[in-house]
Amino acid sequence: MTRRLVLATRNEHKVHELRQILAALVDDLDLEVVGADEVEGAADVPETEVTFLGNARLKAVALARASGLPSVADDSGLAVEVLGGSPGVFSARWSGSAAGEGAARAEKDRANLGLLLEQVADVPDEHRAAAFVCAAVVAMPDGRVEGVEGRVEGSLVRAPRGTNGFGYDPVFVPAGDSRTLAEYTDEEKNAISHRGNAFRALEPVLRELLA
């Protein structure tokens, strides 16, 4: 019997990416993966915690309670070494308030990216280390909650490159490569990304809770 699994996000890029990742990991569980927009009563939850795991837990638990369905949330961002780990949990609102939808989100992404590049403009290449970090949490309507983290190490280039991906992808080069994540195909990105790594770590938990 098909079960619904709700993703605690309204970001269409993230819904697309997570559907691809989950299809590759737990397709045999016969899940219908839907975004928060497709569930009645799913409210936006303020990200008031100071860790990725804390914010992901807030969103997953709230959605599970509101929907009565198993819910998955992630919180992710970019940690730049020379900035002391910032933007971190503030990645999506680094240049101001959180992004909206559609064109507003794209504009916000450009503003965040522009501000970050300004802040590290004078930083030598050898000190532009960064990492993408993702926390993934699954929450069940009965109160069970489990979470994990994943990351990918890399560095920042000086100008955006590539047209795939979103957020800070156009300026992040994974360690050992010369391409930005925005120059990867979806499949290549999911194979090494922080989100892919987090959800691979979450796979056994999902199987235990949803089987």
Cis bond before residue 87 (omega within 30° of 0): yes
The CA-based dihedral angle spanning residues 194, 195, 197, 201, taken in that order and rounded to the nearest 10 degrees: 130
Instruction: Tell me the CA distances in angstroms from 41 to 61, 140, 143, 173, one per residue in order.
Output: 14, 16, 18, 39
- If phi > 0 it is left, if psi is from -120 to 50 it is alpha, else beta; for residue 94 that is alpha
The CA-based dihedral angle spanning residues 114, 116, 119, 121, taken in that order and rounded to the nearest 10 degrees: -70
Tokens coding 208: 């235990």
Give the catalytic positions in this structure: 75
Question: What are the backbone angles phi and psi of residue 192, rounded to the nearest 5°?
Answer: -130, -5
Tokens coding 12: 């269409």
Nearest to 9 by CA among 48, 38, 49: 38
